[in-house]
């Protein structure tokens, strides 16, 4: 939730992000006036959260047990011996941080927009809403949440 809050705040404040994005050298000359410090806060906080998440994965990592994309990245980093590879040591960890950031950043707005439109259509056409409820009841039931294994059903 912290991550999404900072992304939402940062993207919503386009006036602040514009100068920092397109003229970063000028923005650094007067960082408070041009919003550079605010931009760094918006995007620095999510990166700190991502680093914490990655650290928890490092602490609980078990070779051969890939739980998610972070573990898959760690597996590549741990086995990489090529200094020119994007998975090599510190460069690998930095790339993993930015990959996770990109997944959240790109995915959060897309998913939010898609769900918003889906709910709007369901509100307009209650007969479709009834079909969705019936399918969820038939496939998943009331005793558990949906999971990936339900997708083909």
Q: Taking the model in full, what pTM does it have? A: 0.58
The reported pLDDT for the residue numbered 35 is 75
User: How far is residue 7's CA from residue 46's CA, in Å, rounded to a whole number?
Assistant: 7
The reported pLDDT for the residue numbered 27 is 77
List all residues 6 or more positions away from 104 whose beta carbon is below 8 Å from its beta carbon: 3, 4, 7, 46, 50
The reported pLDDT for the residue numbered 12 is 60
User: Is there a domain that residue 136 lies in?
Assistant: yes
- 129, with CB counted inside 10 A (0-12, 13-18, 19+), is middle
Number of domains making up the chain: 1
User: Is there a domain that residue 148 lies in?
Assistant: no
Residues of the chain with pLDDT under 70: 1-21
Could you list the residue range(s) of the whole structural domain that residue 20 is in?
2-141
């Amino acid at each position: 939730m912290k991550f999404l809050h900072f992304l939402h705040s940062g993207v919503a404040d386009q006036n602040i992000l514009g100068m920092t994005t397109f003229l970063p050298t000028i923005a650094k000359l007067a960082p408070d006036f041009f919003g550079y410090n605010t931009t760094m806060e918006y995007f620095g906080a999510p990166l700190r959260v991502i680093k914490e998440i990655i650290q928890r994965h490092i602490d609980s990592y078990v070779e051969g047990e890939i739980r998610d994309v972070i573990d898959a990245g760690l597996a590549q980093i741990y086995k990489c011996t090529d200094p020119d590879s994007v998975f090599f040591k510190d460069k690998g960890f930095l790339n993993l941080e930015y990959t996770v950031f990109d997944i959240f950043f790109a995915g959060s707005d897309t998913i939010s927009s898609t769900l918003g439109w889906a709910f709007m259509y369901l509100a307009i056409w209650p007969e479709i809403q009834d079909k969705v409820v019936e399918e969820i009841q038939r496939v998943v039931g009331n005793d558990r949440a949906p999971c990936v294994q339900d997708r083909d059903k």
